[in-house]
Amino acid sequence: MNENLRILGIDPGDKRIGLAISDLTGTIANPLNVLVHVKREEDARTIVSIAEKNDVKFIIVGFAMGEEGEITPSGRKAVRLADVIKSFTTIPVILWDESGSTNEARLARKLMGVKRKNLKGHMDDLAATVILQSYLDVQMIGVQSNIDSNIDSNIDSNIDSNAE
């Protein structure tokens, strides 16, 4: 099975937009690029162009939620960006909670030994990677759940048929 399951992840910000892309199997996210925010429509066109060039199957847009599940002001901006992206492509666009992704990215960069002064501008692509990997991990849990259910069903049916 050589089906392309490549997915693009986006961490939208006021100044920069981080991009990440998955491998062809849709299991591992990698940093891709950082775009400088221009205008929502122009950003969306650039994102769609990158998505089409990389033959992605889905676009994941991170959006921030507050502690009580409400969409934050930056989350509303992300939703608007996602809506504009949708208007420029037929590639499915999925909103994904990005809460904590920047802090996770900051910690990862620190663990990799990147000096604080070198972090600026390089957090966005890693934050997009954290968002995308979170989405991919949840999808894999769902796949594993289905596999486990099928195995359990097969075991149950084998037990039932042997009991007869």
Q: Residue 116: what pLDDT?
A: 59
Per-residue model confidence (pLDDT) at position 3: 76
* Superfamily of 7-136 according to CATH: YqgF/RNase H-like domain (3.30.420.140)
Closest to 126 (Cα-Cα) out of 4, 13, 6: 13
Round to whole Å and give the CA distance between 105 and 18: 11
pLDDT at 59: 98
Question: How far is residue 99's CA from residue 102's CA, in Å, rounded to a whole number?
Answer: 8
CB-count burial class (<10 Å; 0-12, 13-18, 19+) for 154 = exposed
**The pLDDT value given to residue 158:** 46
Locate 99 and state its tokens: 């809460």
% of the chain with per-residue pLDDT over 90 = 51
Mean per-residue pLDDT for 79-107? 83
Tokens 């199957």 -> residue: 57
pLDDT tens digits for range 122-135 = 678 888 998 999 89
The Cα 61–Cα 70 span in angstroms is 17
In this predicted structure, what is the pLDDT of residue 31?
Answer: 93
Give residue 105's pLDDT. Answer: 53
Confidence tier at 72 by pLDDT (50, 70, 90): confident
Domain boundaries, the chain: 7-136
Q: Per residue in 23-41, pLDDT tens?
A: 999 999 999 999 999 999 9
Measured on CA atoms in the order 61, 65, 71, 74, is the torsion positive or negative? negative
